Chains A and B, each alone.
Chain A
Amino acid sequence: MIYLDNSATTSPYKEVLDSFYKVSQGFFANPSSIHYLGGEVEQLLTKAKEQAASLLNVLPKELIFTSGGTESNNLAIKGIALQHQNRGKHIITTQIEHPSVLEACRSLEQFGFDVTYLSVDIEGKVSPEQVKAAIREDTILISIMHVNNEIGTIQPIEEIAAISQQYPKLFFHVDHVQGLGKVPLHLAHEGIDLCSMSSHKIHGLKGTGLLYIKRGTSLYPLVHGGGQQEEIRPGTENVSGIVAMVKALRLTFDNQKNKIDEISKLSRSIRECLAADSRIYINSPKTGAPHIINISVPGYKPEVVIHALGKKDIFISTKSACSSKHSDESAVLAACGLEQSRTMHGFRISLSFYNTEEEINQFCRTFLEVLDELSDVMGR
């Protein structure tokens, strides 16, 4: 089995499962309970938050645990918009954000917010100048992802943060779900006010995420209730999921330090092998994140190719698992200005620290074979 869909989700580390198991068995009490058992769990939670903060180089009180990346993005965007709408109702984002950012913005349009969706160049990049030009008197939020989930483009986050910093009324949110553990981000940069992360993209468990909220930044909660997590995110904390996420974070940062070059090497092999074939176009920029390679094979129906690869125990994807089911077209590739022969025929190969050279070689070989096999039916 060769799993190359790590941007959709990853398999949890063994140590993550151990943590989950241990906490579920030994620390089951409700951390809000004031008895001894609750106190023990609360301590565990505090420790987990401190560890996460130290790994991310921020303060523990700047972190909120959520149910995942989608909730983190929604909380950041709606939370800022609702809390600070008296300052202005303009939001800046890009056309290639994750659906959880785009849809959160669209939902705010219903409530009178005005959203600018910045265009991107052929590599999927926005320029800091574009961002600067879009800022208005009533702009309260910029939300831009660090690494694009479909093509791996890395946005100039620090430069945008520096711009945002010049506007004290403005908040800057970064969706770091795909970048975490793969592409470094200086979270403590004064210009970054909010940042979303997800556990299951870094070999943690589904159902847990993080939102970094820079100290002093106030935002309106999405849900209301028992006052947990400074009332920003009430609800009984998913303690075992949280401890498991912090474990995954630590292991992932270790891997990032020691093994990111290996991913880059695998990435180069895939590019070289596939670029040599005239049927294939590489969509991901060379300067993008190493773990995501997006390609187009005009004339080949993505689902059919995916299915044929699946039969050979190889798993890649078309576009984002979260994108619309009603269209074959990749909205990200379309925003990059690519023609339909490419936007309708895109594939995403996404790597983890566990993929090997043999796997990659076998994938490349098999992928080309599958194209050959299918060329009679759909090739051109």
Chain B
Amino acid sequence: MKSIYLDHAATTPMHPEVIQAMIPVMEGTFGNPSSIHHFGRQARKLLDEARHLIANSIHAKEKEIVFTSGGTEADNAALIGIAKKNRHIGRHIITTEAEHHATLRTAEYLEKEGYDVTYLPVNESGRISIVDLQNSLRDDTILVSIMYVNNETGVIQPIEEIGAVLKEHQAYFHTDAVQAFGALPIDVDALGVDLLSASAHKIYGPKGIGFLYIRDNVQIEAIQHGGEQERKRRAGTENTAAVVGFQKAVDLVKKEGQIRNKEYRALKELFIQTLKKRNIDFEINGDEQFTVSSIVNISFPGTNVESLLTNFDLSGIAASSGSACTAGSIDPSHVLSAMYNREDERTKNSIRFSFGIANNEENVKESAEQVAQIVKRLTS
């Protein structure tokens, strides 16, 4: 059976050009970038070039980019790094209830370490309120961490407005941009962010590589110590081939980003319209006007996540509930719980569909037809 992949927010296939860019590096430029001989210098050169392009893509400087093993590490490095470095200034951190677990679990860890964390609520549209943020800011607030695009709903937070609010406050501003990077144009100065996390495998790059942007003059305490790589902010031999793969993925966004967004938006629209035509009872979670083009989160009243996903899977449709899966049972989505409330049915009957390179009109239409049939069967 041929699968239709509608889970691009979980991970994406590597773009063929990305693989092609990596192979010669693994074969020929395998030197350790810290080695002083030719092999090392060649590898160093590739790293420098990649850093240049990637920095450019968010209007940052090369030295502001720290390569990590992925988004989770980048989020951890930002939160722990800022918290530990500034613990003498203050111990209050603000984030939201709808963050990725890489942020939430790290915030919980910091709570155990004696930090005080405020989790801002989100409204039914999935967005935070600027007034809430303003009211939560304290003299001892050292960090505000708010994701740019939510991974379950695709809802975009008002990062630029938050950045403006924080301009006059000592708190550093971190945004988890893992789902935004490649989907939205990013200018770190316009956004007013001090730190920003991104990951390669969400944009057709390889797994195992991400970056943390750290504004010039912002200091962090490293979570990993050793050699002097990445200006002592992240020790460990640089993963040159993956960095080059990341560079290629970013380069492709630069060239194709706008076309991709248009395509994905159209596919998402087609998916929704097909469901509508089949008279399925459904509701989109999150305010659509604030979502990225590739993600839609849909609630199907009268169903539950488990039977939906099982049936989708049997029909070859790869989608996701977006929430953590533990030992066969699926917890209600913490993101939807934050938007509605824990008892709301939508937290247990919603599915995330995310579109991308594996999709075309035909397979999106086909999957929507299948989804419609399954939902009809489950609700009749």
Chain A CB within 8 A of B73 CB: yes
The reply to whether A318 and B76 form a contact with Cβ atoms under 8 Å apart is: no
By beta carbon, the residue of chain B nearest A227 is: B324
The reply to whether B30 and A100 form a contact with Cβ atoms under 8 Å apart is: no
Residues on B with beta carbons closer than 8 Å to the beta carbon of A74:
223-226, 235
Task: From known contacts A100-B226, A205-B241, A321-B32, infer whether A225 and B101 are also in contact, taking CB-CB under 8 Å.
Answer: yes
Secondary structure at the A interface, as helix, strand, loop or mixed, is loop
The reply to whether B109 and A208 form a contact with Cβ atoms under 8 Å apart is: no
By beta carbon, the residue of chain B nearest A66 is: B69
CB distance from A293 to the nearest CB of B (A): 17
Q: Report how far A206 CA is from B245 CA in the complex, Å.
A: 13
The reply to whether A241 and B30 form a contact with Cβ atoms under 8 Å apart is: no
Q: Mark B1-35, 1 if CB is under 8 A from A, else 0.
A: 00101010011111000010001001100111011
The reply to whether A207 and B19 form a contact with Cβ atoms under 8 Å apart is: no
Select which of A8, A69, A325 is within 8 A of B228 by beta carbon. Answer: A325
Residues on B with beta carbons closer than 8 Å to the beta carbon of A71:
69, 224, 236
Task: For chain B, residues 59 to 110, give those with C-beta under 8 angstroms from any C-beta of chain A.
Answer: 69-73, 75-76, 100-102, 105-106, 108-109
The reply to whether B228 and A207 form a contact with Cβ atoms under 8 Å apart is: no
The reply to whether B102 and A67 form a contact with Cβ atoms under 8 Å apart is: no
CB distance from A148 to the nearest CB of B (A): 15
The reply to whether B76 and A38 form a contact with Cβ atoms under 8 Å apart is: no
CB distance from A175 to the nearest CB of B (A): 11
User: Which stretch (A16-24, A124-132, A269-277) binds chain B?
Assistant: A16-24
Residues on A with beta carbons closer than 8 Å to the beta carbon of B330:
34
Chain B CB within 8 A of A356 CB: no
The reply to whether B10 and A28 form a contact with Cβ atoms under 8 Å apart is: no
Q: Report how far A205 CA is from B229 CA in the complex, Å.
A: 18
Task: From known contacts A35-B319, A37-B3, A325-B228, infer whether A9 and B10 are also in contact, taking CB-CB under 8 Å.
Answer: no
Q: Report how far A100 CA is from B226 CA in the complex, Å.
A: 3
Residues on B with beta carbons closer than 8 Å to the beta carbon of A237:
207
Residues on A with beta carbons closer than 8 Å to the beta carbon of B236:
67-71, 100
Q: Mark B237-253, 1 if CB is under 8 A from A, else 0.
A: 11111100000000000
For A100, A224, A315, which residue has the most chain B Cβ atoms within 10 angstroms?
Answer: A224
CB distance from A246 to the nearest CB of B (A): 15
The reply to whether B69 and A21 form a contact with Cβ atoms under 8 Å apart is: no
Residues on B with beta carbons closer than 8 Å to the beta carbon of A68:
236-237, 239
The reply to whether A24 and B19 form a contact with Cβ atoms under 8 Å apart is: yes
Q: Report how far A36 CA is from B26 CA in the complex, Å.
A: 30
Q: Mark B35-78, 1 if CB is under 8 A from A, else 0.
A: 11111100000000000000000000000000001111101100
For A12, A17, A24, which residue has the most chain B Cβ atoms within 10 angstroms?
Answer: A24
Residues on B with beta carbons closer than 8 Å to the beta carbon of A379:
none
CB distance from B343 to the nearest CB of A (A): 24
The reply to whether B7 and A29 form a contact with Cβ atoms under 8 Å apart is: yes
Chain A: interface residue total (CB-CB under 8 A): 72
CB distance from B323 to the nearest CB of A (A): 10
Task: From known contacts A9-B31, A12-B26, A20-B26, infer whether A206 and B240 are also in contact, taking CB-CB under 8 Å.
Answer: yes
The reply to whether A324 and B228 form a contact with Cβ atoms under 8 Å apart is: yes
The reply to whether B106 and A322 form a contact with Cβ atoms under 8 Å apart is: no
The reply to whether A8 and B225 form a contact with Cβ atoms under 8 Å apart is: no
User: Which stretch (B124-132, B290-298, B310-318) binds chain A?
Assistant: B310-318
Chain B CB within 8 A of A165 CB: no
User: Which stretch (A103-111, A255-263, A335-343) binds chain B?
Assistant: A103-111
The reply to whether B208 and A241 form a contact with Cβ atoms under 8 Å apart is: yes
Q: Report how far A106 CA is from B226 CA in the complex, Å.
A: 10
Residues on B with beta carbons closer than 8 Å to the beta carbon of A116:
none
The reply to whether A28 and B11 form a contact with Cβ atoms under 8 Å apart is: yes
The reply to whether B242 and A30 form a contact with Cβ atoms under 8 Å apart is: no
Select which of B26, B39, B70, B325 is within 8 A of A315 by beta carbon. Answer: B39
The reply to whether A70 and B70 form a contact with Cβ atoms under 8 Å apart is: no
For B70, B75, B101, which residue has the most chain A Cβ atoms within 10 angstroms?
Answer: B70
Residues on B with beta carbons closer than 8 Å to the beta carbon of A226:
72, 100-102, 324
**A residues bordering B, Cβ < 8 Å?**
3, 5, 8-12, 17, 20-21, 24-25, 28-30, 32-38, 67-71, 73-74, 98-101, 103-104, 106-107, 198, 200, 205-208, 222-227, 234-241, 303, 306-307, 309-310, 315-318, 320-325
Q: Please name 13 pairs of A and B residues whose Cβ atoms are closer than 8 Å in the assembled complex, sorted by A.
A: A5-B35, A12-B27, A20-B26, A28-B12, A37-B3, A67-B73, A74-B235, A100-B235, A223-B72, A224-B108, A306-B37, A310-B38, A318-B36
Lowest 7 CB-CB distances: which A-B pairs, in order? A100-B226, A238-B208, A322-B227, A207-B239, A103-B225, A70-B236, A235-B72
